[in-house]
Structure 1
Amino acid sequence: MSMRFYHMVGAWVLAWAALLVVSQRSWAVSCLALGLMAAHIADWVMKAAKNAMRRTCIDPTGKAIFITGCDTGFGRLLAVRLDKMGFKVYAGCLLPNGEGACLLQQEASAKLKVLSVDVTKDDEVRAAYKTIENDLGEDLSLWAVVNNAGIAAFTEIEWCPISEFRRVYEVNSLGPIRVTKEFMPLLRESKGRVVLVASLAGRYTFPGFTAYSMSKHATVSFADGLRLEMQKWGISVHTVEPTLYRTPISQEGPIHNALDRFWHQCSEDVRKSYGDEYIKDFKTTISSHLNRAKPSEKIKEVIDDMVDAVAGDDPKIRYVPSVITQIRAKLLSSLPDNLRDHFFLSSQPQTPPAYVTELRKKKKPRLMDPRTIRPGDQGRGKRLVRMFSMPNWTKNEMTPSPVKENEPMFKF
Structure 2
Amino acid sequence: MPNSPPPFNRLSSTCFAFRGYNFENLGRTPELLAHAQYGPIVRRRLIECGEIASRTVGREVNLVRRVESRIEPDLSAYVDAVALIIAAEMAQLDILRELFHVELEKSQCYFGYSLGEIVALCASGSLSIEDAVGIPISLADDTASLADSCQLAVVFCRKQELPLKIVQQCCIETNQEGDELVGVSAVLSPNSVLIIGEGTSLERFRQKLAARIPARVFFKINEHRWPPMHTPLVWRKSINTRAAMFMAKMNSGVTVPQPPVLSMVTGKRSYDEINLRDTIYRWVDQPQLLWAVVYETLRCGAETIVHIGPGPNIIPATYHRLADNVQIQTRGSLGSRTLSTFVNRPWLKSLLPERAALLRAPMIQHIMIEDWLLAQEF
Higher strand share: 2
Measured against the shorter chain, the TM-score band is: under 0.3
What TM-score do the two structures reach when normalised by structure 2? 0.26
Please tell me whether Structure 1 or Structure 2 has the larger radius of gyration of its CA atoms: 1
> Could you say which structure has the greater relative contact order, defined with CA pairs below 8 angstroms and 6 or more residues apart?
2
